[in-house]
Amino acid sequence: MSDPDNSIEDLLNKVIKKLLPLVNASIPRLMEELDMDPMVDVASDKETLPEFPFPVPSWPPYVWVKPELSYAIFDMVGLASLRIDTMTIEKVNCRADFEESDTQHLSEYAGELEFVGNLERDISTKVLGRVRAQAKMPWPFPDVNASVAVKGKATAQGGGANGKAIFTASIKDGQVCFNKLDIYLIHLTYSNITIKIDGLGIFNELLKPVVSIIEYFFGEQLRTLVASLVQSALNQELRDLLPVCTNE
């Protein structure tokens, strides 16, 4: 039976101190094995850009067109630098407490914890795409088509992670064990996002909206996608690592 002077939180924190180095040591290998660092094919999308006055020869002075941006984000690196700094028990409840025999006592617990981590390297990706536009001209003038390549890089600095997990634990024969740990919520955060796109030639006036579209995708949709992938990867690793035990 556990020492009444030791709270269950104190005992479980001893196990956390043993578990954290194991989790952090496994992350670089895990990201590589799951093709998450580097992640070759990350995402792609299309967006309609603001109307643009497009100069057309023999048609003074221009025609209005609605260009379309298609882009792909690829070769993302940085997730392997994720480190979990702290795990803090938020609540824990005893769900079973009984004598298995004259000499053995088993206590089972369930609870919830929060964790906080950081990315020790920036997350960076390459960006490739194309801006296309078509000017529909009245007869007898031919339609005018134009396209310009988009090339650049997106970088997120000051990355962090926080989330929540549920757990089950037990105390038996003087051993305290984390038996199951399941992350059900994870958020990735950035302190700053930098998008660098090369000039767009005839569509250079559209550079700002192109950057804004990619910045939004990188900061919102991509962050949600990556958080989901990281959550799944960590849960897979935790299933392999647990149970982890220490003496009372």
* Higher pLDDT, residue 49 or 98: 49
Mean pLDDT in residue range 128-133: 94
What local confidence, expressed as pLDDT, does residue 174 receive?
85
What local confidence, expressed as pLDDT, does residue 227 receive?
93
Lowest mean pLDDT among 39-43, 78-82, 97-101, 187-191: 97-101
Strand partners, 192: 157
pLDDT, one tens digit per residue, over 212-247 is: 999 988 888 888 989 999 999 999 999 999 999 998
Q: Which residues fall within 8 angstroms of residue 212, CB to CB, at 6 or more apart?
A: none
What local confidence, expressed as pLDDT, does residue 149 receive?
95
What local confidence, expressed as pLDDT, does residue 71 receive?
95
Ramachandran area for residue 203 (φ above 0: left; ψ -120 to 50: alpha; else beta)? alpha
* 149-153 contact pairs (CB < 8 A, 24+): 150/69, 150/71, 150/197, 150/198, 150/200, 150/210, 151/127, 151/197, 151/198, 152/126, 152/127, 152/195, 152/196, 152/197, 152/198, 152/214, 153/124, 153/125, 153/126, 153/127, 153/195, 153/196
What local confidence, expressed as pLDDT, does residue 230 receive?
94
Mean pLDDT in residue range 130-145: 82
Confidence of residue 5 (pLDDT cuts 50, 70, 90): very low
Q: What's the predicted TM-score (pTM) here?
A: 0.84
What local confidence, expressed as pLDDT, does residue 136 receive?
76
Confidence of residue 2 (pLDDT cuts 50, 70, 90): very low
Please say if the pLDDT value at position 68 is more than 90: yes
**Average pLDDT of the residues of the chain:** 89
What local confidence, expressed as pLDDT, does residue 70 receive?
96
Where do the structural domains in the chain lie, given as residue ranges? 8-245
**Could you tell me how far CA 150 lies from the centroid of its own chain?**
25
Mean pLDDT in residue range 158-177: 94
